[in-house]
Structure 1
Amino acid sequence: MIRRAAHTREALGPGKVVALNEGVSTTLAGRVLAAMRSDILELRLRPGAKLGFEALRQKYDVGFSPLRESLSRLVVEGLVVGEDRRGFRVAPMTEEDYLDLTSFRKEIEVMAVTRSVERGSDTWEADLVRAYHHMSLATGEQRNYLAEWSVRHQAFHEALVAACGSPRLLLLRRQLFDQFMRYHRIAPRHVWRSAIHDTEHKKILDAALSRNVKRCEALMRAHIRVLDVIVEAIRTLNGRS
């Protein structure tokens, strides 16, 4: 549930916009956006699910204006699709989209990583080492370790590209990362466990710290790949297995 900020006027019905102070609107819409994004990425809002305004208003305890703003942002991020005169739905998950997304994300991630490795300072190196160490501490001995590892894994990859020097590239890369990881969340748990214990991230770290751009590129291209087990999970999700 999202708490409404004080001094707002609720919408009186569909099509009547909520009146909000500019600062309040930004804060409230940001909270709704973050909550909806999380629900989509964690599959609490299922792929293809209809997003009715009344149901969303009750779920997030907000008016229609911040919902519209959040849904519009999520359309841009590729997590929601708009349907002419039929409202919004959570973006579906398809085999074709997964293949296209993997290919495109690979190119963008490689571009961001190689630029970052070339430009990174000593502080960038220290932050990267810290992020890797933090990720490596998320083991099966902890409660909810898969969820915790996922957060730290994302932080490692963000530290890796942090010095690329292009805000636009980082924004696009983050959107593709989120879309890609949504597909990984339908994978069986053993896929996540094997990812935690593989050596790929350590090899990427070592190549980045040694400023070996070509090796970084090769490792990232191998790291971002289509997994047959996810393709099968997509088919099962869509009733095609």
Structure 2
Amino acid sequence: MKKKYIIAVFLMILGLTFLFFYFKEEKVYTLKEYSPSGKLLAMSEYVIRNKDTVFHGKFISYNEKGIKINEGQFIDNEPHGNCFYYYDNGKLESVFYRKNSKINLECTYYDQSGLVKKYIICDSLGRTAFIIKFDDKVVKMYDGYAIWPVGQHKVVNKKLGEIKKGDDLKVGDTIRYNYLVANIPYAKRTFKIETVGIDNSKAKRIIKNKLPAEIIVEEILTHKGLNRIKAITQYTFNDKVTRVKNDTVSFDVNVN
């Protein structure tokens, strides 16, 4: 009898869970805009929330000739992720990874032949951290830092607290630190983390990538004393002008 009761409760919970997700799923509508001559100029997906129209989903626009001029996606009324922009002849002009309508995190520009002419990464506020320009795949100039520290935090119960000077860190504590690392076109990139003076093959680190150009490192501290943690990048180019670009950044934590 008890077994049947448990099964009935389980089935009821399963059914309620199904109904919750079924009704939670939003219906997606499509808004289309046409020219006076009847040609499709734009298409955007949206949902209805609290009786308001919220752009959420794919968008695409065309010029009067029917050639696609941009496409991407909205999340909660804001463009987000990769958005593609095209020349009037339909060739790709640029790709922006957008945080929202005001902030781009990564931008790549192309010439009419399809080659990259400029690449930029920005911080979370949209400020340029690194820019590089090309001419026929050859580096013409670059400015800024190809690797940029974002922050260092202590992880406690899955919550992050900023590491400050004088903080009490112990062996076994987990820290998380982030970097912006440029995805430079026409270059082979290597990236590594090392703590000075220890056997890094025994370090307990998890390295993850976050779009568009962020690397997140989570590490369990294993070494007492001063830990100088270095992030090292190397970019190797094919052209004869700029063969190798090396960048290193570091920060210190004291472990008791």
TM-score range, shorter chain: 0.3 to 0.5
Between Structure 1 and Structure 2, which shows a larger proportion of strand residues?
2
Higher relative contact order (CA 8 A, sep 6+): 1
Q: Rg larger in 1 or in 2? A: 2
Between Structure 1 and Structure 2, which shows a larger proportion of helix residues?
1
